[in-house]
Chain A
């Protein structure tokens, strides 16, 4: 019994991590209609930024965020102006291609610069990456995992509030809905979109920091992380930020319960839940239980 309870707790904590890395993906899709396939590579880019600050200047990754996050915001702004805006004009599919291309460019530039070495930020945060609170003999809760879950809740909740309660948030949503019409009421759609991209990249930077503290990374690690982020975002209903938190937790719990049933069950259970939710969404009328729709809902 304790073992199952432990699996569920660890699954929830894992879910917090998935939600955190999915946040930027979900935000970009919901407010900018862009499926950003460079999401994972950009997170790794931020991780390398933090790594350089930590290894060369001895700056703790948490302090490093003070430098890396503004830099990521600038990256987001530039990206919107130079790549995303232009490709979005070519239709919904073009940004998928351009961000895919971007991910190749980022991966290989990082490889050119940093080589193939495996790296991690864990050595720079003392014993945080492996210390834990022992709840019982069978249940230990990792401190970093709890911090990750808390960060996910704060980040996703904060963004949700920002989008619903602030005028800039409302402007971002309105621009996503109809960029031409917002121009009529004096909103500069380009500016608003670039701001949204900057915000999205800040969340990607935070995701990169936690990814790099929790695990190891190298220049080609971005793609692997994209899969779970994507699944968490879809399970939660792409576009709903709170849903992304729920989606991450559903995915994490499904995986760890799957792993308890059979060690090979970890990935497959996650994928099955992902597909089940996806199909349930595609045929909503057939199910008595009406899940949130795949189409974007008011954030």
Chain B
């Protein structure tokens, strides 16, 4: 039963981190193995769910266990589609934050497990290789949580040309949403509108440098860019000197979390941080632990969220709302809620809706067609593929937020209120943005 997985593991060698994770996968395969008898029959729907549960991006996958448990509970009685009841099996896999591992998992899910729908999530390292494998094999695939430009153009689509993708779909924020959010957020506090930007020389950093920075400049912000740096840089004195000289009152960065911690401590040491009125970070500062590890320096850092517990929507799959999801997670794990909870559940919401609205969920072309016309409300808001900037993409919100010190007596040290809602005005604003050095 778990044989094919084990052979696969032996095939590529028991390399780094694979031993423990592999054991888990084999265990899951064996657990799923009992249901193989059904697999031959026509009434089992299989969903592949691939996310980074371990490795450098494990912060994204941390909440997936909880979300999957909710989804499985809701699906326990099966799904009735077109008068026929299907058993639904979610095969969740850990990409280990590694693109080649993600690609290999996708191939196994497609060829051995024969999934009917693939749902990869969180960052290009996992999503793009899985989407590519699905496109090649003709398996419907829906993803979220990465800038859609990096998903669409990063996989070979050309601006102005018809979409090359028939099987793969993506929803969520893009550069345009970042622009709207930043313009809205940065107008909340009077500044000299000089923005010091620290964008790394990686896929995200360069995409933002070329696509977002010119748009911000067009909106009247002066962009001070000391140039791309390499991920893993330990000392930022050169960049700090540039920001200090230009007196940038707004700071913006898309760094890896450890690089930002090093940068921001040095910026404080070297006297730049005390001039900053808005410190707006993306990619780091998504999760409470990124901010907690900065100690006092983490308070008042501005961020942007692709989901927030204040979102006024309910999950179409589980029927629960934002507050309930966040509270349920906090009660079960004792940890503060994260924005990933809603994003992972939204992906399952939208994926299951696509299966339900397809004429035949066992027919891959029918499911892909259902994705192409999907129009639904998930816990993270609207998903609508009939009205995107490019085919295969449904843009979604990224709302301005801020990490602030929680009021005394709170359960956690941090609070994370919504400070602006330009990309989804249905989300209520929770607090006024306060200057970093307030």
Contact = CB atoms under 8 A, between A and B. Distances in A.
Interface of A: 3, 6-7, 10-11, 14, 17, 104, 107-108, 111-112, 115-120, 122-124, 127, 129-132, 134, 138, 140-143, 145, 214-218, 220-221, 224, 228, 252, 255-256, 259-260, 262-264, 266-268
A121 to B, nearest CB: 9
15 contacts: A10-B237, A111-B54, A116-B62, A117-B62, A118-B293, A120-B261, A129-B295, A130-B265, A132-B270, A140-B269, A140-B271, A220-B54, A220-B55, A252-B235, A255-B233
A140 B270 contact: yes
B257 A118 contact: yes
B262 interface: yes
B366 interface: no
Contacts of B196: none
A168 B258 CA distance: 40
A104 B19 contact: yes
A123 B289 contact: no
B295 A123 contact: yes
A122 B294 contact: yes
B227 A220 contact: no
Contacts of A217: 258
A108 B19 contact: yes
A132 B268 CA distance: 8
Given A108-B19, A130-B268, 16 more contacts: A6-B241, A14-B234, A108-B54, A118-B293, A120-B261, A122-B293, A122-B297, A142-B265, A215-B234, A220-B58, A255-B233, A260-B238, A263-B226, A263-B228, A263-B239, A266-B234
B230 interface: yes
Contact of A104 (B17, B201, B271): B17
B252 interface: no
Contact of B237 (A6, A221, A262): A6
A235 B181 CA distance: 47
B230 A142 contact: no
Interface string B100-126: 000000000000000000000000000
Contacts of A220: 54-56, 58
A220 B21 CA distance: 14
B290 A118 contact: yes
A266 B290 contact: no
Interface in B42-76: 54-56, 58-59, 61-62
A123 B237 contact: no
Given A111-B58, A117-B289, A129-B295, A262 B262 contact: no
Contacts of A118: 59, 257-258, 261, 287, 289-290, 293
A263 B328 CA distance: 45
B19 A262 contact: no
Contacts of A143: 269
Interface in B218-268: 226-230, 232-239, 241, 257-258, 261-262, 265-266, 268
